[in-house]
């Protein structure tokens, strides 16, 4: 007799049909104020809670949106405490729309994405799948509303939200140039150059760097690009190379973790920051303000990124919202203590 109470029990107790109860729950068909109130009272009394799987079977939906992140995708800033904020933004937005978020890390090569169809996911948010990623066509083929974060995909059919990486990198580089630096090393990450466009985020930052050089009439020199992993260790190792490059007085790292590794590495070489070298990072991690010295960096509002993406996705799901577009979020340069005027070291040396 320990039977979960369902819509039929409510109907019976209220003396109405189950269709009416359903209508009350979903606020759909026509039902008089009086019966509505009665049904609602009964629902509360009985403590009825709907059986969502049943509803989902009938409606062919799931009220679930999937967030897909790469588990170990090379070239991503995988060690960053980056995803959490993003996820927090998504989750918050989804919950307002009575959706829930289902998270899954995927293996680029193998993953079949079958669960999307199986579970009848209502939408998908894909993080960090670049232009060349096999994931992109696979997701598109699913026929499910989707939005890509940090992807810079060329197809105008796809919904995207990205940071204005190019402007951010431009601002960072221009800041260094304004301080008198002429040769600025670049820590780009270690993917092969011909693949760089596939990692759109990094490519855009490279473009921003070039923009700023060009604007200042400075040459873009290939030997200033350091291809090392986008990690603390990579940045640390980069210090050796930076120190060996003649006339280089500044470095721009494409992530804060790299920048932190670099600062540490430079110090171990006996170099001081910003006295001997200026350093700029990218991301503005919450710790970047508290490193010593505090890191000059490009800030992005990751939480907002998540919020914007989910809002866009829900719009797609509900059929409202523009057919497809790319939303670009602003990047902001935050000047702290790792950057200073060029020539300080030279002045001392002379």
Partner DNA sequence: CCAATCGGATAAAACGTTTTATCACCAGTA
Partner DNA sequence: TACTGGTGATAAAACGTTTTATCCGATTGG
Binding mask 264-303 for a second copy (x = CB under 8 A): x--x-----------------xxx-xxxx-----------
Cis peptide before 274 (omega within 30 of 0): yes
Considering only the stretches 113-121, 189-197, 206-214, 328-336, report the one whose residues sit in contact with a second copy under the rule CB under 8 A: 113-121
298 burial level (CB within 10 Å; 0-12, 13-18, 19+): buried
- Residues 20-79 contacting a second copy, CB under 8 A: 49-54, 56-57, 62, 64, 71, 79
For 313, the enclosing helix (H) or strand (E) is helix 302-317
Residue 6 near which of a second copy, DNA, none (CB within 5-8 Å, type-dependent):
DNA
306 in Cβ contact with 88 (< 8 Å): yes
Q: Select from 1, 44, 114, 244 the one that contacts a second copy (CB under 8 A).
A: 114
Residue 48 near which of DNA, a second copy, none (CB within 5-8 Å, type-dependent):
DNA
Residue 31 near which of a second copy, DNA, none (CB within 5-8 Å, type-dependent):
DNA
- Min dist. Cβ of residue 142 to DNA (A): 17
- Min dist. Cβ of residue 186 to a second copy (A): 20
Q: Select from 34, 109, 118, 194 the one that contacts a second copy (CB under 8 A).
A: 118
- Min dist. Cβ of residue 69 to DNA (A): 28
Beta carbons within 10 angstroms of residue 192's beta carbon: 9
List Cα–Cα distances, 11 to 27, 59, 83, in angstroms: 16, 21, 45
Residue 346 near which of a second copy, DNA, none (CB within 5-8 Å, type-dependent):
none
CA gap 108, 24 in Å, rounded = 45
- Residues 230-269 contacting a second copy, CB under 8 A: 232, 236, 257, 260-261, 263-264, 267
Beta-strand runs (E) in the chain: 64-70, 100-106, 123-127, 146-149, 159-163, 184-187, 225-226, 250-253, 278-283, 296-299, 326-329, 332-334
Residue 79 near which of a second copy, DNA, none (CB within 5-8 Å, type-dependent):
a second copy
Residue 17 near which of a second copy, DNA, none (CB within 5-8 Å, type-dependent):
DNA
Which among 84, 83, 228, 253 has a CA at the least distance from the CA of 168?
A: 253
Residue 22 near which of a second copy, DNA, none (CB within 5-8 Å, type-dependent):
DNA
Q: Select from 12, 115, 138, 341 the one that contacts a second copy (CB under 8 A).
A: 115
205 in Cβ contact with 254 (< 8 Å): yes
What's the length of the chain? 350
Q: Select from 9, 40, 92, 221 the one that contacts a second copy (CB under 8 A).
A: 92
Q: Select from 12, 35, 80, 315 the one that contacts DNA (CB under 7 A).
A: 35
- Output the CA torsion sign for 57, 59, 63, 64: positive
Decide if residue 15 touches DNA (CB under 7 A): yes
- Output the CA torsion sign for 75, 79, 81, 85: positive
- Output the CA torsion sign for 300, 306, 312, 315: negative
- Min dist. Cβ of residue 78 to a second copy (A): 10
- Min dist. Cβ of residue 79 to a second copy (A): 5
197 burial level (CB within 10 Å; 0-12, 13-18, 19+): middle
- Min dist. Cβ of residue 20 to a second copy (A): 21
Interacting residue ranges for DNA, rule: CB under 7 A: 3-4, 6-8, 15-20, 22-23, 25-26, 28-32, 34-36, 48, 50-51, 54-55, 57-60
């Amino acid at each position: 007799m320990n039977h979960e109470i369902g819509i039929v029990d409510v109907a019976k107790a209220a003396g109405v049909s189950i269709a009416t109860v359903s209508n009350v729950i979903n606020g759909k068909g026509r039902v008089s104020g009086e019966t509505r109130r009665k049904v609602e009272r009964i629902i509360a009394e009985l403590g009825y809670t709907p059986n969502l799987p049943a509803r989902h079977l009938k409606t062919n939906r799931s009220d679930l949106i999937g967030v897909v992140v790469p588990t170990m995708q090379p070239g991503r800033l995988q060690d960053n405490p980056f995803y959490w904020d993003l996820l927090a933004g998504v989750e918050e937005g989804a919950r307002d729309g009575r959706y829930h978020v289902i998270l899954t890390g995927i293996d680029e090569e193998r993953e079949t994405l079958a669960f999307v169809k199986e579970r009848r996911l209502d939408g998908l948010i894909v993080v960090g799948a670049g232009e060349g990623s096999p994931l992109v066509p696979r997701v598109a083929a699913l026929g499910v509303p989707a939005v890509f974060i940090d992807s810079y995909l060329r197809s105008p059919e796809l919904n995207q939200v990205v940071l204005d990486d190019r402007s951010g990198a431009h601002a960072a580089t221009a800041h260094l140039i304004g301080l008198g630096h002429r040769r600025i090393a670049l820590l780009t990450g270690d993917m092969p150059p011909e693949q760089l466009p596939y990692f759109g985020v990094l490519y855009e930052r490279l473009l921003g760097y070039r923009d700023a050089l060009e604007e200042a009439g400075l040459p873009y020199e290939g030997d200033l690009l350091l291809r090392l992993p986008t990690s603390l260790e990579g940045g640390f190792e980069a210090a050796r190379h930076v120190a060996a490059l003649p006339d280089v007085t500044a470095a721009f790292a494409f992530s804060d973790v790299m920048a932190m590794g670099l600062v540490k590495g430079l110090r171990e070489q006996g170099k001081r920051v910003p006295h001997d070298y200026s350093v700029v990072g990218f991301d503005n991690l919450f710790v970047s303000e508290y490193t010593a010295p505090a890191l000059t960096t490009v800030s992005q509002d990751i939480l907002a990124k998540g919020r914007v993406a989910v809002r866009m996705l829900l719009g797609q799901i509900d059929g409202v919202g523009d057919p497809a577009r790319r939303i670009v979020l602003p990047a902001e340069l935050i000047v702290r203590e790792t950057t200073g005027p060029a020539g300080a070291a030279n002045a001392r040396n002379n």
